[in-house]
Chain A
Amino acid sequence: MANPLRAEVVRLYKNLLYLGREYPKGGDYFRDRLRAAFNKNKEVQDPEKIKEMITRGEYVARELEALYYLRKYRAMKKRYYEE
């Protein structure tokens, strides 16, 4: 992997791994898919392409945060507020 971007990619991976622990289908399911996705792109050298993939990874992280928030909000709303 391109040297300066290696740290960013590893940071992204650790972030996603941490976020994936709460995944509704199971942390293991998420971790396996995450590893497969990162492994598939292991050989890419072009810094532009790597940056693009990092952006996509950050997008996934934001989507996960939104998913978790909505799940929690809807559960609380259903339990505590008259529909």
Chain B
Amino acid sequence: MSGRVLVGVKRVIDYAVKIRVKPDNSGVVTDGVKHSMNPFCEIAVEEAVKLKEKKLVKEVVAVSCGPQQVQETIRTALAMGADRGIHVEVSGKDYESLGPLQVSKIMAALAKKEEAQLLILGKQAIDDDCNQTGQMTAALLDWPQGTFASEVTVEGEKLKVVREIDGGLETIKINLPAVLTADLRLNTPRYATLPNIMKAKKKKITQVKPSDLGVDLTSRLQVLRVDEPPQRQAGVKVETVDDLVSKLRECGRI
């Protein structure tokens, strides 16, 4: 297999940040909050770069959809070893309603346009936890999918994928071109160190509009309300075992 690998990366609120809900319950506070690449997307980029280092693919292209700021995320992917980036410009209201369906339409259009052999995505984003984009893209392209991949081997013109499923591990063989979604144990992503980031500044990022790809971004979903999870109730301390038993009876537990 030789050819182009497309990797989708998403700019999300950093995993270590404490999330705050906006006072009007319309969403989560994102202004001034630290953002970084989705951890599963990092694993996807690492896998693509590893394939290139093994000379199994020729080019790794990092793709991200969103406003100007996502270029930072694409730069991180370039610093990790991607060859060039594609920034799909989506901003304002369109960006707020951008979901897996819209992103998968964009990815499918790009995969066809770039004649990609392989599309690797993270299994889910840590902000919306949808776990849908990879699957939807594979359906739109009518490509086989290896989701929750914890190990990927190239065997001629096919891919052997070991998937992490509820019952354990499942090994499948799929044809190329294909869509993969990366699970936690696929690999250990490298850190984008300062010298690599400097080198990545020379790599190109092309800007594309969704309309150029013929994609309609209207969303069929509307967020009605965002709430914090219920606060943890404080525990109650009791003095003796009899107290404990009577309290349990009161709650109706025994």
Residues of chain A having any CB pair with chain B under 8 Å = 11, 14-15, 18-19, 61, 65, 68-69, 71-73, 75-77, 79-81
Q: Bound complex: CA of A4 vs CA of B201, how far in Å?
A: 26
Given contacts A71-B16, A72-B15, A76-B39, contact A15 B184 (CB under 8 A): no
Interface residues of B (CB under 8 A from A): 15-16, 39-40, 126, 184, 188-189, 191, 193-195
Query: What is the CA–CA distance of A80 and B16 in the complex, to the nearest angstrom?
Result: 15
Q: Are B191 and A68 in contact (CB under 8 A)?
A: yes
A-side contacts of B193, CB under 8 Å: 15, 18-19, 61, 65
**What is the CB-to-nearest-CB distance from B191 to chain A, in angstroms, rounded to a whole number?**
4
Contacts of A73 in B (CB 8 A): 184
**Chain A residue contacts of B189, Cβ below 8 A:** 69
Q: How far is the CB of B149 from chain A (nearest CB, A)?
A: 15
- Residues on the A chain within 8 Å of B126, using CB: 76, 79
Closest to A79 in B: B126
CB-nearest residue of chain B relative to A24?
B16
* Inter-chain contact A65/B191, CB cutoff 8 Å: yes
Asked if B184 and A81 make an inter-chain contact with CB atoms under 8 angstroms apart, the answer reads: yes
Residues of A within 8 A of B194 (CB): 14-15, 18-19
Interchain CB contact (< 8 A) of B188 among A14, A61, A69, A71: A69
Do A15 and B195 touch (CB < 8 A)?
A: yes
Shortest C-beta distance, B75 to chain A (Å), equals 14
When distances are taken between beta carbons in the complex, the residues of chain B under 8 Å from A15 are: 193-195
A75 and B191 contacting across the interface, CB-CB below 8 Å: no
Nearest CB of B to A11, in Å: 8
A14 and B195 CA atoms in complex are apart in Å by 10
Query: Which A residue sits closest to B164, measured CB to CB?
Result: A81
In the complex, which residues of chain B have a beta carbon less than 8 angstroms from the beta carbon of A80?
A: 184
Distance between Cα atoms of A68 and B188 in the complex (Å): 11
CB A67 to nearest CB in B, in angstroms, measures 10
**Given the contacts A15-B193, A18-B194, A75 and B188 also touching, CB distance less than 8 Å:** no
Q: How far is the CB of A34 from chain B (nearest CB, A)?
A: 14
Beyond A69-B191, A75-B16, 10 extra complex contacts between A and B, CB < 8 Å: A15-B193, A15-B194, A18-B193, A18-B194, A65-B191, A72-B39, A76-B15, A76-B126, A77-B184, A81-B184
A75 to B38, CA, bound (A): 13
How far does the alpha carbon of A79 sit from the alpha carbon of B19 in the complex, in Å? 15
Q: How far is the CA of A62 from the CA of B195 in the complex (A)?
A: 14
CB distance from B127 to the nearest CB of A (A): 12
What chain A residues lie within 8 Å of B191 (beta carbons)? 19, 65, 68-69
Complex CA–CA separation, A71 to B191 (angstroms): 13
9 contacts between A and B (CB under 8 A): A15-B194, A18-B193, A68-B191, A69-B188, A69-B191, A72-B39, A75-B16, A76-B40, A81-B184
